[in-house]
Structure 1
Amino acid sequence: MAATAVKDSVTKFGKFLSSMVMPNIGAFIAWGFLAALFIEKGWFPNEQLASIVSPMLTYLLPILIAAQGGYLTGGDRGRVAGAIAAVGCIVGSEYTMLMGAMVIGPVTGWLMKKVDAFSQEHTPGGFEMLVDNFSLGLLGLGMSVVGYYAIGPVMSVILVVLSTGVGALVDYGLMPLLAIFIEPAKVLFLNNALNHGIFSPIGLNQAAETGRSIMYMLEANPGPGLGVLLAYCLFAKDEKTRQSAPGAAIIHFFGGIHEIYFPYVLMNPKVIIAPICGSAAAILWFSMTGCGLVAPASPGSIIAFLSMAPADTLLQTVIGVGIAAGVSFAIAMPIVRTMPVEAPEAATSEKRAIAGTAEAIVISNTENAKIVFACDAGMGSSAMGATRFRNRIKAMRPDLTVEHSSVDTVPADAAIVVCQRVLSERARKSAPQAQVVVIDNFLDDPALDALYDSLTTLSNAAELMETTPAAPEPEPEPDTNVMVRPKAIRLGLPSVDKETAIRQTGQALVDLGCVDPSYVDAMIERDELTSVYMGMGVAIPHGTNEAKDAVKETGVVVLQYPEGVDWGGGEKAHLLFGIAGKGDEHLTVLSNLVGLISDESVLDKMKSTDDVDWFDGCFA
């Protein structure tokens, strides 16, 4: 428990540091190109243009970082106060104060928020503008003084210690050992926190002194991930995996979206050895040859990586990326090659059951809705996923808005959030009002297919209802349509805890002879893996993929809890639709069920009615 709390705290801290840097990456790139092109050892040395490099590094970047930090904790007024305070930090130290800005910016923003809360209670009418302007100016001035005398000098000492430690790692040949921590952290989606929260501040100090820093090369090197993906391209026994790997390799290497290769490592955790060794070999090479980048390479594309490389070490940098890819490929190859063909298939099947299609079935009105693809930083894999899905669905659903954002800053008007599994809990906290669709791969995931089918099916159904005269419904074909009329409807049940409610739902299926008793435990397990709560007061408990053998026949039961069942996160389920499906019939049941409960007025009445005949008639 304590270890988990520490891990969560470290993750949040790293994410917060990263969130101050990521919005300002464009400024880092501008500064990086200035340095790469025009300094004395640049591609096109130019003394006049090179004179811009130092002021941009010394003043612009720290002020931007502090302003963003102030905004995160204190809004627009915190942004201005943080920028003012950063100047004291900058002038109070002889070192680049990026780390100082990361401290003084958010602290000043937080203080600004507290001052504003206090002044709102005590400001006489008519004096608001005077108080607002003076409070911001005086707080910024005061924190600037604190920055000059305290934060600047303290951060200077910390920077010296960190730089000395990095120098010692290089001198004693220990720098490659960092790969043992870097690559696993990347696969756990801590890549941006590592690169922009830790390595970039240290790298800025080194680059200010020597014109380059190896710290920029540690996380951003696209070589290790490329080696893993090439191994899957050539040696994966699962055809779908082998076919998806080339596209992932192109996006990873040239697009710089490293998150794209993480699922391939998670598919077989032993593969993590490959990028660790590849990264370690490259770091050793970079250390021996004195390589470094002049600025952060973001995103981690080979294009950005080489663009930030000084002219005199460009060849060594290319060789280092090649070494990383080659070593990673050589180690991943036998691991991927010896994976039993059923292992990837089983993994894929399990992912389809866990992340699967149930959460992707839309159960509420989506007219003019906003769909948000979310990743850790909101700039890489989520942007790619949003673009692909937008292009895919725009012809069928032009009313939908498809955007991307950081998983921690999902817009409040988002109706559906799509994110990878490891980020799902953060997505639910960030957007409790939205339906969360969990995926494993932005390129090829069954949940994305199910989301598309659900959105387009509902749209087509609505159009037909509006434009087509009523006509007798044809009899469903037994092999393609599965009836969703409940075999049991239980209304007015007293409120219970979540597990008890799921067990009551499962027991109803057992009593009807639809499933064996073991299916009930599988329904509990399914909710623990990924919540079966769908939003709008509806939960759809069902078993895991492994429990298919426990299903005797397809069936649906409905349990109504008028007072609601607490599902966590402030959500209550009033209706539990328990389903069991033979083969893939549960997907058809889900799709048909969604169509029946998409009318919110009907759904609201279902949550409270005590009329079993009316309830049953809704499914006629």
Structure 2
Amino acid sequence: MTVTTDAATREPRSGARVAVQKFGTFLSGMIMPNIPALIAWGIITAFFIPEGWTPNEGLATLVDPTIHYLLPLLIANTGGRMVHGVRGGVVGTIATMGVIAGSDFLVDQFNATLPAGEDELGQVHMFIGAMIMGPLAAWIMKQLDKLWDGKIRAGFEMLVNMFSAGIAGFGLAVAGFFLLAPAVNWLMDVLGTAVEWLINTGLLPLVSILVEPAKVFFLNNAINHGVLTPLGTQMAADQGKSILFLIEANPGPGLGILVAFTVFGVGAARATAPGAAIIHFFGGIHEIYFPYVLMKPALLIAVILGGATGVTTNMLFDSGLRAPAAPGSIISVLAQTASDSYVGVILSVVLSAAVTFAVAALILRATRKADLAAENGDALSAAIAKTESNKGRRSEALSGLAGGAAGAGAVDVATDGGSLEEVIGSRDVSSVIFACDAGMGSSAMGANVLRTKFRKAGLGDIDVTNVAIANLDETPDIVFTHKDLTDRARQRASSPVHVSVDNFMSAPVYDEVVEIVRRRREGGGAEPGLDAESGQDAESGQDAESGRSAVPVPVAAEPEAAAEARAAVEPGAAGPSQATAGGPILTPDRIRADGVAASMDDAIGEAAQFLIEAGAVDPSYEQAMRDREASVSTYMGNLLAIPHGTNEAKDSIHASALSFVRYDQPIDWAGDEVRFVVGIAGKDGGHLAILQRIAIIFSDESKVQELLDAPDEVALLALLESVNERD
């Protein structure tokens, strides 16, 4: 939890840096899901080409079509789906085929003009073309769909949808053939020439001056996935390997930093470094060493020199990888090492680690005395928080590291030298605002949780409401936001105390705020260690008067838009797939006990499909749910996520509806584990009670366990039946 005042020392994230991060994250989102295909291509190449381990003329025919057609089309489809769902993926793939064909046509024309015997130009593999055309074509299709959304006569929807996508794909493929293909060929030629010049002049190691700091500040994705991976793949296709795959993925510099902290660090940094080194080197989670560098920015010199050493070693030994190493662990690196490159690659990792360790050791020893004198355990926690801020979302690996650094239940308070009690206890709190991107689902749930806690503490006169960040003003005393949105909230309103939370439904800071306000109202009279809500001992869980166990049942939240979005679903007379006014909010046909999605994006699609089939929303609402998630996570805590659409998608909602999907395996929800996904679509508001009931269920861990143990949809509906109650 982070508390900030209007003059807080925490600086807002740079707009330019955030833009680069967003761009890099988008590129990464297209490339990373398709890394398995790149790895498969690398293995096929290693085994079956004439120079491979087990040459096979027939199976070797897989190599060229895979790299030239399959991989770019997979990337285009992924990029298109990110912009406009399955429809965008299909159109993006069609359009990218035009770019590939256009590039091949230009190469063939050029080769036809060459004198006999002169080396011909090879194929240009359209990775960059796919990363441009896939999302672009999907975006154009999305805009076209908006033109006739809601204007198609009933019964003609499928005809219009199919032909519009086919015609758009045709037109964009032709445009890609004539317009984008020449541009991408030229760009690849320029970038390839630049890399070749850097290699021939021995200047390639200087790239580490850019790449290593970019990694620490999460700005590397744009470089790695936008330039190094496409160029490296082109180089690997021509030469069988590429040095470019190891510029960013080399685990040596990170290992050197962590070993240096293991030997010369102090306090929490030294205690946690050995475990972090194992996770980094063998697990490939590079971000786990970033906080250690941020603790002492001078260590950037160490990782730059270490990275440059690794690049130099690979240049001297002419070594490289067959395909990208993802994640960047030593296991992935060795698995992708070309058959003639093991000595060079292993030495590049060892020497880069050694150089980084030596430089880092000098820096740590030079500052060791000051570190020992100032040791307070906060430096690493602050660096972890800064790293997560740079990343723009929570990191599961860093959260584990933070637990080791700060201990369970630790709180990070970043004010102008004041504690949480000082900045809140100095105010006569009468108004509290919960703000989120849309001012609906998640913020309304948080507002209901805190409102209930205030009421139980005898502070029911405090106004607790929720709004969109865009509507914030200077009137509230306290503003709660998700930590990813606090900077935006502070820009809108500087006077209130700003409190950041990981999730709105179960933030421990709520009880602390209630207790601080109650003590101020009573003139400081609360007994230490008593919970503000129940009067029970905070540590023992026993009632202060009787000594009996008195574990309170937590009360939950009620999102306005979220509630609105999970409003009244109605199958009724219109049939089980139709949402109509007055029917139950949740029906058996919109519950799934064994969801099939394996990713957050697919889980959103699965939840949305129920709403679409119920007739509650237009198909476009699914993309609005993804747009909302891209803005801020809808993770609520206690294994629950509640994806819902943006404000702009209200017109695509026909009736309120709610869907419920449980997953056997946790879904990675931007760093949080989710087992339950509740999809919502709310029409005209007025259904906050429904959300409150959902929140009451999920704020009780015993109820959550019952939902986990329920054998089927019927049992789940029985446990969730309270959402269908009407006031």
Q: TM-score with structure 2 length normalisation?
A: 0.55
What number of residue pairs does the alignment pair up? 456
2:555 counterpart (577, 599, 618): 599
Q: Tell me if structure 1 keeps the 8 A contact 2:208–2:307.
A: yes
Judged with a 3 Å threshold, the aligned counterparts in structure 2 of structure 1 residues 426 and 264 are, in CA distance, closer, same or farther, namely: closer
| Residue of structure 2 aligned with 1:53, choices 49, 63, 72 | 63
The answer on whether the counterparts of 1:351 and 1:440 sit within 8 Å (CA) in structure 2 is: no
The letter for the 2-side match of 1:12 is K
The answer to whether the aligner puts 1:219 opposite 2:179 as a matched pair is: no
Where 1:312 maps in the other structure, the secondary structure is coil
Q: Given residue 477 of structure 2, which amino acid in structure 1 is its aligned partner? A: A
Aligned: 1:254 with 2:210: no
Q: Partner amino acid for 1:333?
A: A
Instruction: From 469, 477, 481, give the equivalent of 1:501.
Output: 477
Secondary structure of residue in 1 paired with 2:516: strand
Residue pair 1:235, 1:333 contacting (<8 A) in 2 also:
yes
Question: Which of 35, 39, 46 pairs up with 1:25?
Answer: 35
Q: Does 1:210 align with 2:239?
A: yes
Pairwise CA distance, 1:15:
1.4
**2:127 corresponding residue in structure 1:** 98
Residue in 2 that maps onto 1:556: 516
Change (3 A) 1:595 1:499: farther
Q: Which residue in the other structure is 2:408 paired with?
A: 449
Aligned equivalents of 2:285, 2:557: Cα separation in 1: 43
Q: 1:494 to 1:192 in 2, by over 3 A?
A: closer
Question: What CA distance in whole angstroms lies between the structure 2 residues aligned with 1:136 and 1:307?
Answer: 41
CA distance in 2, matches of 1:221, 1:159: 24
The Cα offsets for residues 297-328 of structure 1, whole Å up to 9 and x where unpaired, read as 11111121122121112211111111111111
Matching residue's letter, 1:68: T
Q: Could you tell me whether the CA contact under 8 Å between 2:529 and 2:537 is conserved in 1?
A: no
**Counterpart residue type for residue 11 of structure 1:** Q
The structure 2 residue matched to 1:327, chosen from 332, 344, 355, is 355
Please tell me the root mean square deviation across aligned C-alpha atoms, in Å.
Answer: 4.5
Match of 1:557, SS state, is helix
Q: Secondary structure at the match of 1:246?
A: helix
Contact 1:294 1:308 in 2 (8 A): yes
Counterpart of 2:308 in structure 1 is 280
Tell me how far 1:90 sits from its aligned partner: 1.1
Larger helix fraction of residues = 1
Q: How far 1:45 moved relative to its partner? A: 3.1
Amino acid of the structure 2 residue aligned with 1:8: V
Q: Distance in 2 between matches of 1:298 and 1:292?
A: 15
CA 1:535–1:163 in 2, change beyond 3 Å: closer, same or farther? same
Q: Is the 8 A contact 2:92 2:169 kept in 1?
A: yes
Q: C-alpha displacement at 1:186, in angstroms?
A: 0.9
Which secondary structure does the structure 2 equivalent of 1:535 belong to?
A: coil
Report the Cα offset of residue 211 of structure 1: 2.0
- 1:421 aligns with 388
Q: Select the residue among 195, 198, 204 that pairs with 1:166.
A: 195
Asked if structure 1 preserves the Cα contact closer than 8 Å seen for 2:478 and 2:496, the reply is: no
| C-alpha distance in 2 between matches for 1:130 and 1:14 | 37
Cα distance in 1 for partners of 2:232, 2:21 equals 21
Cα distance, 1:540–1:236 mapped onto 2, change above 3 Å: closer
1:259 to partner: Cα distance: 1.3
Alignment of structure 1 residues 251-400 onto 2, 5 Å = 251-340=279-368, 343=371, 346=375, 348-349=377-378
Cα distance change, pair 541–525 in 1 and its aligned pair in 2 (3 A): farther
Q: Work out the CA distance in 1 between the residues paired with 2:354 and 2:526.
A: 47
User: Equivalent residue for 1:128?
Assistant: 157
Q: How does 1:473-512 map to 2 (within 5 A)?
A: 491=461, 501=477
Once the two structures are superposed, what CA deviation does each residue of 1:440-475 show, in whole Å capped at 9, x if it has no partner? Answer: 5547446783399xxxxxxxxxxxxxxxxxxxxxxx
The DSSP-based 3-state class of the residue aligned with 2:150 is helix
Conserved 8 A contact 1:556-1:580: no
Distance 1:559 1:28, change over 3 A: farther
Q: Aligned equivalents of 1:55 and 1:104: distance in 2?
A: 20
- Provide closer, same or farther for how the CA distance between residues 97 and 601 of structure 1 changes in structure 2, counting only shifts above 3 A: closer
1:225-269 CA-partner distances (Å, limit 9, x unpaired): 11111112222232x433322222122111111112112212222
Deviates more, 1:590-599 or 1:163-172: 590-599
Question: Residues of 1 paired with 2:192 and 2:525: CA distance?
Answer: 60
In 1, distance between residues paired with 2:522 and 2:191? 57
Query: Is the alpha carbon distance of 1:209 and 1:589 closer, same or farther for their aligned partners in structure 2, counting shifts above 3 Å?
Result: farther
C-alpha separation in 1, matches of 2:141 and 2:271: 53
Tell me, in whole angstroms, the C-alpha distance in 2 between the residues paired with 1:207 and 1:197.
Answer: 16
User: How far 1:558 sits from its partner (Å)?
Assistant: 4.2
Gaps of at least 5 residues in structure 1 are: 357-418, 428-435, 453-483, 504-523, 544-553, 561-575, 605-620
Whole-Å Cα distance in 2 between the matches of residues 185 and 54 of structure 1? 33
The answer (yes or no) to whether the contact 1:597–1:603 under 8 Å persists in 2 is no
Greater RCO, 1 or 2 (C-alpha within 8 Å, sep 6+): 2
Q: Distance in 1 between matches of 2:384 and 2:327?
A: 28
**2 CA distance for matches of 1:82 and 1:307?**
32
1:486–1:556: 8 Å Cα contact kept in structure 2?
Answer: no
